Amino acid sequence: MAHPLLDVMTSAAHGVFPRVDGYVSFLPDLPHGNRAIVALTGHAYIAAGLTADHFNDVTLDGFGEALAPATVLRVADGGVIGVNDVILVAPGTGTRIQTPSTSMWDDHARVRHARHLRTAVVVYGDERGFVTVGQGLAGRPEMSIGIAETNTSSGLGRHLIGDACGAVPIG
């Protein structure tokens, strides 16, 4: 069964956003003990298995306070705090990937980081660079890209993003 945050993010990727109401919605824990705060324009989601009662002494709203340090610390509950990140979306094309899967980048920091954050990570690439594709936040397909220094401004990044979209089902 998919985590409810996946529906929220998939809808937003298709241009359907939550109401701009300033509210915060509380969702169950994410798989593998992960927790997250996702803030969209005017509405936020806390996926941590907590309720509003856990935040009685913290200012909390969907207009930015959900990402305030006091809220982040409360959600982390002594655990690891990652970084604020942006989610960019592109539809999956379900086409065949042209770049072969590889293990040549397994020691790269970005690949190790992807495998720490995601499950079922596959690395596609060659000596020019790579893209990782795996299951990330709430089970959503996620990618990361690494380009060898000699290939910057070569269009390889766009090519790898296209390949990564091909590894994801249509839509």
Strand order in the sheet with 141-147: 119-126, 129-135, 141-147
Closest CA to 146 of 165, 127, 168, 169: 127
The answer, yes or no, to whether residue 169 has pLDDT greater than 90, is no
**pLDDT tens, position by position, 50-91:** 999 999 999 999 999 999 999 999 999 999 898 888 888 888
Taking the CA atoms of residue 10, residue 110, residue 106 and residue 129 in that order, the dihedral angle to the nearest 10 degrees is 90
One-letter identity of residue 140: R
Q: For the chain, how long is the longest CA-to-CA vector?
A: 53
pLDDT tens digits along 23-60: 999 999 998 888 999 999 899 999 999 999 999 999 99
What pTM value is reported for the model? Answer: 0.81
pLDDT higher than 70, residue 151: no
| Helix, strand, coil % in the chain, rounded to nearest 5 | 30, 20, 45
Strand blocks (E) in the chain: 24-27, 36-40, 43-47, 119-126, 129-135, 141-147
Task: Report CA 95 to chain centroid distance, whole Å.
Answer: 22
Query: C-alpha distances in angstroms, 130 versus 9, 105, 136, 147?
Result: 25, 7, 18, 6
| Cβ atoms 93, 74 nearer than 8 A | no
